Amino acid sequence: MSATATSTSDVALYALRLGDDALILAQRLGEWSSMAPELEEDIALTNIALDLLGQARFLLTLAGELEGSGRDEDELAFGRGEREFYNCLLVEQPNVDFAHTIARQLLFSTYQLALYEPLTGSADSGLAGIAAKAVKEVAYHRDHAVKWSLRLGDGTAASHSRMQDAIERLWPYTHELFESDELVERLAVGGVAVNPAGLCDSWGQFIGATLGEATVTVPETSWRPSGGRRGEHTEAFGHMLAEMQWLHRSHPGASW
């Protein structure tokens, strides 16, 4: 395989990782429809889901084009099995309650914004273009999550305890966000990808300040679950995927 071909498939896989993060979180947020605590939040959570779904569609399409095997966004979204999805474990965590949903959004949007900002300067014009559009959206997602983190953390005793619990439950999954591997390192050298290892400090500062203001304690954990980028997911993921893919897979070759 030539150096260029390797590089193209690397970019395809990288785009797939980013696209899967967005797609899977959009799917989780979509589960909130008609269940949110108030109408305004039903609309807001759907808006965030729609933004993420839009990002996912661009990224999966780009991945399909780069891999050159003719797979489009739907084949990638509905045709792959559990072990072929490369999203981080954080985004597949179940909604549980509004506090978990907000905590997940805070932790992820802060990471995604930190990642997309430098990605706007990627040597790959496709990725740079997608990041440039997404960065504006994600800034709003983070802002929304920050505001709700403050309300829940520093609201009532009940909301505080739920928010604290959510952060403790989700915190272990944040370590994976900053893991690097050979793929990312190769692409980062070429200026295509952003090495997430370098984002950890600024992410930690922002999250620490937000949670501090929300009177939520940042937990210390030794458990560092990982594997999403290699296609090793949590048990809940398969159920989510089964629901998402069932109809599409029931009608092979059909158009919708």
Partner 1 sequence: MYGLPEERNRSQPAEPEDTALRDSFEATIAADERIEPRDWMPDEYRTTLVRQIAQHAHSEIIGMQPEGNWITRAPSLQRKAILMAKVQDEAGHGMYLYSAAETLGVSRDQLVELLLAGKQKYSSIFNYPTLSWADMGAIGWLVDGAAIMNQIPLTRCSYGPYARAMVRVCKEESFHQRQGFEILHTLSHGTGAQHEMAQDAVNRWWWPSLMMFGPPDDESPHTAQSMAWKIKRFTNDELRQRFVDICVPQAAVLELTLPDPDLRLDEPTGNYRYGEIDWEEFKRVLKGDGPCNRQRLEHRTRAHEEGRWVREAAAAYAAKRARAEERLAA
Contacts with partner 1 by CB under 8 A lie at 23, 27, 30-31, 33-43, 46-47, 49-50, 53-54, 56-57, 60, 73-74, 77-78, 97-98, 150-152, 154-156, 158-159, 162, 243-244, 246-248, 251, 253-256
Would you state the structure tokens that stand for residue 97, as one six-digit string? Answer: 């309650």
Task: Report in angstroms how near the CB of residue 11 gets to partner 1 at its nearest.
Answer: 21
End-to-end CA distance of the chain: 37
Distance (Å, rounded) from C-alpha 64 to C-alpha 12?
7
Give residue for tokens 């739907």.
Answer: 74
- Comparing CB distances to partner 1, the nearer of 65 and 117 is 65
Distance (Å, rounded) from C-alpha 181 to C-alpha 233?
17
Task: Report in angstroms how near the CB of residue 212 gets to partner 1 at its nearest.
Answer: 15
Task: Report in angstroms how near the CB of residue 226 gets to partner 1 at its nearest.
Answer: 26
**Structure letter (DSSP) for residue 216:** P
Give residue for tokens 């990041």.
Answer: 131
Burial (Cβ within 10 Å: 0-12, 13-18, ≥19) of residue 132: middle
- Comparing CB distances to partner 1, the nearer of 100 and 184 is 100
- Comparing CB distances to partner 1, the nearer of 30 and 118 is 30
Taking CA atoms, 210 is separated from 28, 148, 201, in Å, by 24, 11, 14
- Comparing CB distances to partner 1, the nearer of 81 and 121 is 81
Task: Report in angstroms how near the CB of residue 111 gets to partner 1 at its nearest.
Answer: 23
Would you state the structure tokens that stand for residue 148, as one six-digit string? Answer: 């709700």
- Comparing CB distances to partner 1, the nearer of 202 and 217 is 217
Task: Report in angstroms how near the CB of residue 76 gets to partner 1 at its nearest.
Answer: 9
- Can you spell out the DSSP letters for 63-79? HHHHHTS---HHHHHHH
Task: Report in angstroms how near the CB of residue 147 gets to partner 1 at its nearest.
Answer: 9
- Comparing CB distances to partner 1, the nearer of 215 and 221 is 215
Would you state the structure tokens that stand for residue 11, as one six-digit string? Answer: 């970019």
Distance (Å, rounded) from C-alpha 33 to C-alpha 41?
10
